[in-house]
Structure 1
Amino acid sequence: MTPVPNPPGEPADDLAAYVGLAAPDAERRAREHGWSPVRSLPPGTVITMEYLSGRLNFEVEHGLVRRCWKG
């Protein structure tokens, strides 16, 4: 499968590496890698579907990142 290119303003980063990290550690790492904003959401949170370049989202349950996605 061909990798999805990073739009301008988005860091080249391995999003799978965030899964399993404690939320504060994942947020710190994301900011160090250039993501802004970074948001942590509980499972099932209703969010809008707009894509914001440079934003990293975490789904956090019991203090650990379950899922990570751009936008």
Structure 2
Amino acid sequence: MAPIPTPPAEPQDSPDRYVGLAADHAERLARERGWTTVRSLPPGAVITMEYRFGRLNLEVRDGRVARAWKG
């Protein structure tokens, strides 16, 4: 029987820490903290909802992060 794959570890970082930051600064900071993918989205964007380990989603309004979540 083949072993069950172990998902990659996610950074020990809270998405809430990015809310209110300038979008470019938040993206740079997220990558420095270990997020492998950082996705900036406009409010109400239509996106795929599959969960991706190591991805941080940033909803950006007027150049600032309004909401952030994993996956």
TM-score class, shorter: 0.7 to 0.9
**Identity %, equivalent residues:** 68
Q: Which structure: larger Rg?
A: 2
Q: Any unmatched runs of 5+ in structure 2?
A: 1-6
Structure 2 residue aligned with 1:17: 17
Q: Give the number of aligned pairs.
A: 65
* C-alpha separation in 1, matches of 2:23 and 2:70: 16
Structure 2 residue aligned with 1:47: 47
TM-score where L is the length of structure 2:
0.87
SS at match of 2:11: coil
Q: Any unmatched runs of 5+ in structure 1?
A: 1-6
The RMSD of aligned alpha carbons is 1.1
TM-score where L is the length of structure 1:
0.87
Equivalent position amino acid for 2:36 in 1: S
